[in-house]
Chain A
């Protein structure tokens, strides 16, 4: 790690003002991703402003919706009875994330902003357009087994690594953001940016923007939702492909469906065309398979990640079957 200065903030306003005003100042919360990035010298902040003493850890979840404070620990959100009952896909995505130790430390806001696990991004001895704009993207022709088949560009094919954001995108959740210019809400689906020509600009947040909470609207489909994560190991591993699905079913007919996927795309990726193929159709295995078969439409595999083109529809199909009670 390079030297940095540290202070704990007593108010959100002070923390935000400091990060806006001081070159290289950044927030730190749970620290689980930050410490890895500091150790590997991927990040070299001049100052870390500790926000964990701010009163932003409250969780309120029930039949009217959920509000999860940005500083709630992942383990607490995963174990919350209201989240588990009304938004099972969220609890399942959290429990499929990281390890118990990390879930006791990592915060909800920080989890949404965790950085990619692309091997080149994490290795400062190699070029990476996301880490160092204009330096190149060795993943295009290199070790790209873990990289994205959707949402990539010639500049970057790094996968968005999280699980929670995928579940939140499926449920039309929003983040509440406080910044130098006041407060605003952003749909989780619009929080992350596809790399395009500016892979180093990862989110729509600006310097000093602080996520203060996540809100999830109540819905019938949220109660019948499921998260499936396929990975190289049974536990404590990032997704090769994952699916967050939610179904509203009435008298054997799918009234509404939500499908978002992870591990395959540069951002948490919603599959609206799969949702549309499910809406209004009878709930049966053939319908689910047929709809899921389109999950990887538009995929651009780059070699070693080509297996994801087949893995993704199978992952979506299995998640839909489980949510629909047809597993």
Chain B
């Protein structure tokens, strides 16, 4: 019988953008706060902190999640990718390049989340039409209202990576 020993403070090992990082955390720490405050990866943004805006979207084992609704301790053993981990050898990821090309942002606060969501959406095969892109990007809000250009960017990137 394996006895459970719940603890308020834990040392966890997180794999983020290909690197193993050890952190000692309060059990309450969200993955979002661990990334920003613990690992100083501030590219992942905090918007609502309630899973409603998508600004904190990251990839967990290749699939998009909202890092504000994830306890950091529960991310142990998974592979996390943030906006800092997308570009390879100084070259923008195709989705990043498409956002620049189509001006898919205004203030830029929601953009890291939009881009990671779009990377995942394209992998999921959900870029079949503009309507499908809109539906499957609905977890990412843009208060500036750059949606039209975001759809253009996602469509373009999907066409290049498919």
Contact = CB atoms under 8 A, between A and B. Distances in A.
Interface of A: 1, 3-11, 13-15, 18, 25, 28, 31-32, 35-36, 38-40, 47-50, 52, 75, 98-102, 104-105, 234-236
A39 B50 contact: yes
B65 A105 contact: yes
19 contacts: A4-B28, A6-B6, A6-B8, A7-B4, A8-B73, A11-B2, A15-B4, A35-B50, A36-B50, A36-B69, A39-B49, A75-B63, A98-B139, A100-B64, A101-B51, A101-B64, A104-B60, A104-B64, A105-B69
B1 to A, nearest CB: 7
A11 B3 CA distance: 10
Contacts of A104: 60, 63-65, 120
Contact of B69 (A4, A10, A18, A35): A35
A32 B134 CA distance: 22
Contacts of B160: none
Contacts of A101: 51, 54, 57, 64-66, 117, 139
A102 B51 CA distance: 8
Contacts of A31: 69-71, 74
Contacts of B54: 99, 101
Contacts of A11: 2
Contacts of A98: 139
A139 B3 CA distance: 44
The 4 A-B pairs with the shortest beta carbon distances in the complex, nearest first, are A99-B139, A5-B6, A235-B138, A6-B27
A6 B7 contact: yes
A98 B64 CA distance: 13
B-side interface size class:
35 or more
A4 to B, nearest CB: 6
A4 B27 contact: yes
Contacts of B69: 31-32, 35-36, 102, 105
A13 B140 CA distance: 39
B66 A6 contact: no
A73 to B, nearest CB: 8
Given A39-B50, A235-B135, A236-B138, A1 B66 contact: no
Contact of B51 (A36, A52, A234): A36
B153 interface: no
B104 to A, nearest CB: 18
